[in-house]
Amino acid sequence: MSEPKRILVAPLDWGLGHATRCVPLIRRFLDEGHVVLLAAGGHSEKFLHQEFPDLTIIPKKGYGIQYSLKTSMTLMMLFQSLKILMNIFREHQWLKKIIQQHKIDEVVSDNCYGLWNKNVHSIFITHQLMIKCPAGLKWTESLLHRIIIWFVSRYDECWIPDVEREDNLSGDLSHRYPVPGNAKFIGWCSRFAVQENKLTTENEYDLCILISGPEPHRSTFELESIEALKTFRGNAILILGKPGNEILPELKENVRVFNHLNTNELQLVLINSKKIICRSGYSTIMDLRTINKGALLIPTPGQTEQEYLAEYLDGKNGFEMLKANETLSEKIQEYVKANSVKRELPEETF
């Protein structure tokens, strides 16, 4: 076994996905006898504290990116590019102080571009070595790829949470261009345990809706889901993706609502749900693929990465994409009718 290190793990603060996929890495570091410190803020900090209550969490300011319900997220990123670069520089300077104060030996950064330092070993985690751009900006993809590779090259290693095989989950995002020399595929990073799905009838749900993503789109998805569930007659569960103790919306008795579930509880719910509806965030997709579950994927509007992933995975391994001419309510009713037909079939029907 190598000498124990003091490892700082820092996930990006855009949604919970970057924090959730760090969970298996944190567990591995702890199992190897290393001291792990976490750097996070907002919902990511709350989530990591719930998963690892005994670990030190160093407050880390986020990028403070603003989103819009009407404007493409790629365009919003371009409009705020100067702000992003300033925050990358700020976190790079912040890391120098943290390394000295906490005697850090190694830094593991999940998509925080400024967390490298020549005095420690640094690892960058990303599945997105290229950025998908909307139709009018396709010409910028190659340029953005070169910028990403420049930042990645500052790190000692780049870990890509995917596989090289044809059944990869990220598609063009990490396979279109040759990977840099310091990069390697490390397989899917899921907080869920790889195990045979154990179905139960006690906690069985006809439908599970998993809310996630940045505001204001997270809240919009929540409101759409609540409206769609008003006419749903089966057993449903709605998970809002908000670690904390915020007031829950009141729905019918057949719909259970939670702000957040811990990893073990969520895995059990997903395994025992007949249908799952969620955003096409990459970490969510890795979690579902790990437990051999598919889902109806609803991309965050304007987020080209999620739009690409939903389209890329449509029809594979139980995943399907909500089409432009479909609504969430219509799709849920379609599930209800399909389920009713199945129940009416005689037992000998296959």
Return the residue matching tokens 């509007």.
301
In the sheet where 320-321 sits, what is the strand order?
A: 255-258, 236-239, 205-210, 273-278, 296-297, 320-321
Residue range 48-61: mean pLDDT, rounded = 95
pLDDT at 349 over 50: no
pLDDT of residue 237: 96
Domains of the chain listed by start with CATH number: 6-185 (3.40.50.2000), 205-344 (3.40.50.2000)
Taking the alpha carbons at both ends of the chain, their separation in whole angstroms is 53
**pLDDT digits over 327-339, tens only?**
898 888 887 666 6
Q: Taking residues 121-129, report their average pLDDT.
A: 98
Mean pLDDT of the chain: 88
Which pLDDT does position 83 carry in this prediction? Answer: 78
> pLDDT-derived band of residue 350, with 50, 70 and 90 as boundaries?
very low
Looking at per-residue confidence, does 18 or 350 come out higher?
18
Q: Which of 343, 346, 199 is nearest to 268 (CA)?
A: 199
Contact 72, 302 (CB under 8 A): yes
Going from the C-alpha of 282 to that of each of 15, 144, 170, 174, 310, the distances in angstroms are 11, 20, 8, 12, 10
Tracing tokens 């912040």 back to the chain, one arrives at 94
Give the per-residue pLDDT at 112.
96
Give residue-wise pLDDT tens across range 168-196. 999 999 999 999 999 999 999 999 987 55
So what's the pLDDT on residue 342? 44
The pLDDT score that the predictor gives to residue 324 is 85
* Alpha-carbon span 341 to 349, nearest angstrom: 12
